[in-house]
Amino acid sequence: MNRIYFDNAATTALDPRVLEAMMPYLTEKFGNPSSIYSYGRESRLAIENARKSVAKILNAHPAEIFFTSGGTESSNTAIAAALHNLGCRHIISSPIEHHATSHTVEYYHRREGVALSWVKLLPDGHIDLEDLERLLAASKDRTLVSLMHANNEIGNLLDLHAVGNICKKYNAIFHSDTVQTVGHYPFDLRNTPVHFITGAGHKFHGPKGVGILYVNENVQIQPLLHGGAQERNMRAGTENLYGIVGFAKALELAMASHAEDAAYIRELKQYMADQLKEKVGHVEFNGDAFGRSLYTVLNVSFPKSEKSEMILFNMDINGICASGGSACTSGADLGSHVIREVNSNPNQVAVRFSFCRQNTKEEIDAVVEKLNGML
């Protein structure tokens, strides 16, 4: 059976050109980057060239880019640093953050007594910026604001500049989980009022297990992981050499074809929405699906029935890969905390379809046809 993969917000297929760039470092160029002999120097040079490439694409300074194991480690590092190094004793976040953020801030609230506030959402799932400013104005302590750039389940996009400028007004630290947008949108970090952002290679056809943390040069932080002096004393542990090379190559390729890919994928998203409305009917789209929204994600609610409650299982046995919410909790029958916040209708079942440049309208036609028999 040919599988149709519509879960690209969870992970993407490795681009063969990325694998090609990684292969020398998986085979003959295997030296430890901390070694002083030629094998090690060769590896060190590859990492620093990757750092320069990533920094140039994001318009950051190379010294502001740190390689990590992915978005979760990056967000954990940023949040811990804001609390332990930058004097923050109050966190403002949203109820629809990825668990890499929400579980982390809840941990520090419970274990260290850090104040925690949840900013209100507007009816379409966007952050209520007036409420954010009210919370900051009322805060007696220095505050960390942690809000994701694009929601991984419904796709809503945050205005980084608007939030960053509010944070600047109240001397707050701003961390944004940008895992769904690095590699999908152009960044200009030298002109963006943010202290920390994150990225993960596997979201844009790079390898799994490698990510970045951007740390603005105006903040000084301590490492989360201790040990060796890797990543300029900021992240102990032998570097994921081939992953780092792959991350940089994937980001380079993604941004080189960004405009063309984004237009194509946006067209796929709209086409699927139109086909669902025409051929299936009785569907609703969660979040601000066709406004300020991630072009790769379409979150759809179907009427709840005995058949539709099994929709993910039935799609799977029909060779269709999609998600009922965040892929990180798809194995547990807990439902989606994001959908609970933006669509409390108990008579609907939500499915997230997420697309990439490799998907086609023919795949959408096949999925829509099969869905008709599952509802």
pLDDT, one tens digit per residue, over 230-270 is 999 999 999 999 999 999 999 999 999 999 999 999 999 99
Listed by start position, the domains of the chain span 4-12+258-372, 16-256
Looking at the DSSP assignment, which residues form a beta bridge with residue 118? 93
Query: In the predicted model, is pLDDT for residue 23 greater than 90?
Result: yes
Active-site choice (88, 321, 328, 356): 328
Res. 329 pLDDT band, cuts 50 70 90:
very low
Residue 373 confidence (pLDDT): 86
Query: In the predicted model, is pLDDT for residue 300 greater than 90?
Result: yes
Classify domain 16-256 at the CATH class level: alpha beta
Query: In the predicted model, is pLDDT for residue 330 greater than 50?
Result: no
pTM over 0.85, yes/no: yes
Check if 328 is active-site.
yes
Spacing of C-alpha 361 from chain mean position: 25
What's the helix, strand, coil split of the chain in %, to 5? 45, 15, 40
| Nearest to 108, CA basis, from 74, 73, 82 | 82
The yes-or-no answer to whether 4-12+258-372 and 16-256 have a common fold is no
Q: What are the two backbone dihedrals, phi and then psi, of residue 136, each rounded to the nearest 5 degrees?
A: -70, -40
Residue 334 confidence (pLDDT): 61
If one counts every other C-beta atom within 10 angstroms of the C-beta of residue 197, the result is 29
Residue 85 confidence (pLDDT): 98
Residue 281 confidence (pLDDT): 85
Query: Which DSSP letter does residue 185 get?
Result: B
- The residues near 279 (Cβ < 8 Å, ≥ 6 apart) are 368, 369, 372
Handedness of CA 14, 17, 22, 27 (dihedral sign): positive
Q: 3-class SS at 200?
A: strand
Within the chain, residue ranges assigned H as helices are 16-26, 38-58, 71-84, 99-112, 129-138, 160-169, 230-233, 241-256, 258-275, 311-317, 337-342, 361-372
What rounded mean pLDDT belongs to the chain? Answer: 95
CA distance 180 to 152: 6
Task: Average the pLDDT over each of 21-25, 169-173, 340-344 and give the range with the smallest value.
Answer: 340-344
Task: Average the pLDDT over each of 43-47, 73-77, 240-244, 321-325 and give the range with the smallest value.
Answer: 321-325
Query: In the predicted model, is pLDDT for residue 141 greater than 90?
Result: yes
CATH of 4-12+258-372, one of 3.30.1200.10, 3.40.50.300, 3.90.1150.10, 3.10.310.30: 3.90.1150.10
